[in-house]
Amino acid sequence: MRGNNMKTEENSHEHQVQEQLIRAGKELAGKGLVSGRSGNISIRLMTGNILISATHTFLGMLELDDLIEIDFDGRAVGEGKAPSSERFLHMEIYKARPDVHAIVHTHSVHASAYAFLDRPLRSVNYENDLVLGEVPIVSYAQPGTIEFARSACEGLGNKAAALLQRHGTVAVGEDIFDALAVAELLEDVAKVNYLIDTLSK
């Protein structure tokens, strides 16, 4: 009986997580943090596996079959679409950070520009200091590789977000909406930095 109850709880949790990822994808697209088929999102499941968006999906139009369960070796559990090519990035962060239960990877415009330039973001407000602190910049490595994933994970350290040179941003959180809020804050801070740089010339 206990086993049946645990299975029911896991199924209920997975259904809830699926709904959260679909909603978060719409939020990311609606806020302009992702466009087209860019970006990927994931949540850590109760089983220890990961639920991640499939490769080449529109995050703003996610459906259930766009959400792929993978193990910590990056293998898909069951049949279906291929998981995101950035699954190794998600896996390495989850392995290193037990406190992280959700990850958002975006190509948001202003933050991506600062990442490309390898230019640190100034702190612009109290929330910036409290949530982001000094945002690390991860040097470029070939996207989708385990080398990139490990470099990004090391660069992120214990921070809530990092800039990925020539590859956008990564934000983490206790849940998907926490990670989404971090990604949104990071882009807002980059926008203010852009205005400061532009207006102070």
Active site positions, annotated: 86
What one-character-per-residue DSSP string does 74-121 give? Answer: S-BSSSSSPBPTTHHHHHHHHHH-TT--EEEEE--HHHHHHHHHT-PP
User: Which class for 44: exposed (0-12), middle (13-18), buried (19 or more C-beta within 10 A)?
Assistant: buried
Measure the CA–CA gap between 104 and 156, rounded to whole angstroms. 13
Q: In the block, which residue shows the tokens 């369960």?
A: 69
What element of type H or E holds 122? none
The alpha carbon of 2 is separated from its chain's Cα centroid by a whole number of angstroms, namely 34
Q: In the block, which residue shows the tokens 């409290």?
A: 130
Measure the CA–CA gap between 143 and 166, rounded to whole angstroms. 9
